[in-house]
Amino acid sequence: MTATINPVLFLQADVSSEYMRQHHLTPQEFIELDKKHNILHFLEIGYEPFHLTGVRGVVEEVDAYIRRREIDTAAQQDA
């Protein structure tokens, strides 16, 4: 019996590691950021286009996603 790696989990792990490295985050800090912005879910639902993109490109997408969420949250608080 051969083990199969879930490709979504692999992407999530790969991107999470690179995100932490680029942003100098500890795993705990990344977990808190994920709780706030649902990063792992974002990676799961975006798997199809993301798995064809390099990890650094996906990290840029995560940064853009977080910025959009923060802008949306600020706009809702101002309304």
Per-residue confidence (pLDDT) for residue 34, from 0 to 100 = 98
Angle in degrees, CA 61, 55, 31, rounded to 5: 70
pLDDT, tens digit (0-9, with 9 covering 90-100), for 8-48:
999 999 999 999 999 999 999 999 999 999 999 999 999 99
Q: How many residues does the chain have?
A: 79
- What is the rounded CA–CA span in Å between residue 27 and residue 21? 10
Domain boundaries of the chain, sorted by first residue: 8-78
Judged against a pLDDT cut of 80, whether residue 1 lies above it is answered with: no
Q: Which residue, among 8, 5, 18, has the nearest Cα to 62 in the 3D structure? A: 18
- What is the rounded CA–CA span in Å between residue 63 and residue 79? 25
- What is the rounded CA–CA span in Å between residue 9 and residue 6? 5
